[in-house]
Amino acid sequence: MPQLPAPAPTHRLVPSPAGRVHLVEQGRGPLVLLVHGFPESWYSWRHQLPALAAAGYRAVAVDVRGYGRSSAPAAVDGYRMLDLVADNVAVVEALGERSAVVVGHDWGATIAATSALTRPDVFRAVALLGVPYTPPGGPRPSEVFARMAGNGGGGGDGGGHEAGVGSGGDRGPVGDSERSGTGDRGAGDRGGVGAATGDLGRVSTGGRAATGARRAASGGRTTTGIGPGTGADRTGAEKGGVHDGAARRPGADGDENAGAARSASPAGEFVGPDEFYVSYFQRPGRAESEIEPDVRGWLAGFYAALSADTMPGPGAPDPHFVTRGGTLRERFPAGRLPAWLGERDLDVLAGEFERTGLTGALNRYRNMDRDWVDLAGYAGAPITQPSLFIGGALDASLAWLADAVTAYPETLPGLLGSHILDGCGHFVQQERPEETNRILLDWLAALPA
C-alpha cells in the first residue's frame, strides 16, 4: 500500500460485554487490531500506529480489560480469556467492521492467538510478538508453574515472562532454518521446521530434549535453555509434544523432579527456595503490595530486567523467580532505563497504573486454570489463518517454549514468517520498532485480500 501522511491519533471508548474498551485509532483502511501485554497499555504500540496508518491501514491499539481507561471488573473471574476475546470482537463490531487482523505482544499474543482460534470468522490473520503459540491443553497451568519452583538464584536469562502451556502433537524432523523467515522444511508429514529460533540452535521435535545456546549480541554472553523432551528429560509433559513451558534455566538445579517435589504443599502453598513469578502473582493482593507503593520504580526495574541492554548478566539471580519471603523487585537491575524507554515514556506507562492499580492486570494471571477449562474443547487445535511470529533472540520465552516454535508446521500451518531479532529482548516492538514495522508491513501486504 502507498505510504501516506499518518493522521493524528484519536481516542475513544466503545461498548464491550464488561463495560467499555478504550482504544487509540489512527488511519483508514483494512483494520489491524493491536493488543498489548503485561504490564503495559495501548502506548506500547506508539511506534506501530503511525507506520500502519501511513501505509493505508486502520490501526487500532486497545487498553486490555483492567488496564488504562478500559473497564476493570471487580471480580477476579471477570478476566477470563474468552471475555478478552469477546472484547476484541466487540471492538471490531463497534468500528463497523466485519473482520480484522489481530496483532499481540506478550499476554496480548496469547489473547490474539485465542481470538484467531475461537473466532476465525472475525480474525482473518494473526501476528504474535514475543510469545509463541501453544495450543490449549496439557497439564493444569497452576500445577505446571508450581513445578517450576526451584533454584533461580543464578544464571537467569532475563528474558520474557509470559510462559505458555499447551499441547503440541507429533512432529516431523527438524530442518535447517535462517535467522529471519521460516525454516526450510524437512520430509515429515507436513515437514518439520528447523531451529526458527536462530541462536537457540536445535530445538526438540517429539521425543528429544531440546538444547541450544543463545549468544547475546553484546559481550558474547551465552546462555543455554533446555526444552521438554521425554522420560527423565521432560517434567510433567505427556506424549505427543505436550509442553509446560518449563525449560531448564541456566544455572538452575539440575534435578527438576526434586525441584517439583519441594514446590508446593498439599494446600498448594509454595514451599521451595524460589517461586516462579506466575505462581507469585496468583494470590490477590500479594504482588500488588510489592508494586503499588512505588509503581514507577517497579515498572522501571521490570522493563530493565527483560530488555536486551539492561537485563541481568550471567550468574545474576533470575528475575523470573522470587526468593521465599522476598519480592521480584529484589532481582531487578537498578539505576538505568533501557534505551527504548525514555523518562517521558515511563511517565505515561506509570501514570496509568498509579491511577488504576495493578489488580486488573494481575487478574489475567489468576484465570489461567479457568481458561484451561474454558478452552478444553480446543485442546491441540491449530490456528489455520495466515500468521506471523516475531521474537527477540534474548527473550527467555524462546528458551522456555522452543518446542512450540518447532511445532509451528502443525500448530500454525498458515505461518508466513518467523523472525528472531538478534540482540533483542522481550519488548520487541519497542526495542526494535523500525525492524518490527518493516516485518509487519511486508506480512500485511502479502495477506490475501
369 versus 7: which is more confidently predicted? 369
Q: Shortest CA distance to 282 belongs to which of 359, 225, 340? A: 359
For residue 247, is pLDDT > 50? Answer: no
Instruction: State the Cα–Cα distance between residues 93 and 116, nearest whole angstrom.
Output: 15
C-alpha cell recorded at residue 83: 471475555
For all residues of the chain together, what is the average pLDDT?
79
What are the E-state strand segments in 68-183? 100-105, 123-129
pLDDT mean over 103-125: 98
CA distance 116 to 411: 12
How many residues are present in the chain?
A: 449
The percentage of residues in the chain with a pLDDT greater than 70, rounded to a whole number, is 72
**Domains of the chain as residue ranges with CATH:** 10-135+374-446 (3.40.50.1820), 141-161+207-366 (no CATH)
Q: Is the per-residue pLDDT at 177 higher than 80?
A: no
Cell of 91: 471492538
| pTM for the structure as a whole | 0.78
- The least confident of 49-53, 221-225, 351-355, 369-373 is 221-225
Local structure of 21: helix, strand or coil? strand
What is the structure's pLDDT at 179?
Answer: 36
Evaluate whether 244 touches 235 at the Cβ level (below 8 Å): yes
Say if residue 215's pLDDT is above 60: no
Rounded distance between C-alpha atoms, residue 181 and residue 27, angstroms: 28
Average pLDDT of the residues in 353-362: 97
- Look at the alpha carbons of 284, 286, 291, 293 in this order and tell me if their dihedral is positive or negative: positive
Instruction: For residues 422 and 442, give the distance between their C-alpha atoms in angstroms, rounded to a whole number.
Output: 19
Determine the pLDDT at residue 147.
86
- Residue 240: pLDDT band (50, 70, 90) is very low
Residues in contact with 84: Cβ distance below 8 Å, sequence separation at least 6, in sequence order: 64, 65, 111, 114, 115, 364
Q: What is the pLDDT of residue 7?
A: 79
Q: Is the pLDDT of residue 133 over 50?
A: yes
What pLDDT shows up at residue 2? Answer: 54
Nearest to 84 by CA among 31, 33, 121, 129: 33
Question: Scanning the structure block, which residue is given the C-alpha cell 487482523?
Answer: 101
pLDDT digit string, tens, across residues 376-388? 999 999 999 999 9
pLDDT in tens, 310-330: 999 988 999 999 998 899 999
Q: Is the pLDDT of residue 186 over 50?
A: no
Higher pLDDT, 209 or 428: 428
Does position 191 have pLDDT exceeding 90, yes or no? Answer: no
pLDDT digits (tens, 9 = 90+) for 159-175: 445 545 444 333 333 23
Q: How confident is the model at residue 223 (pLDDT cuts 50, 70, 90)?
A: very low
- Rounded CA separation 204/405 (Å): 9
What pLDDT is stored for residue 323 in this prediction? 92
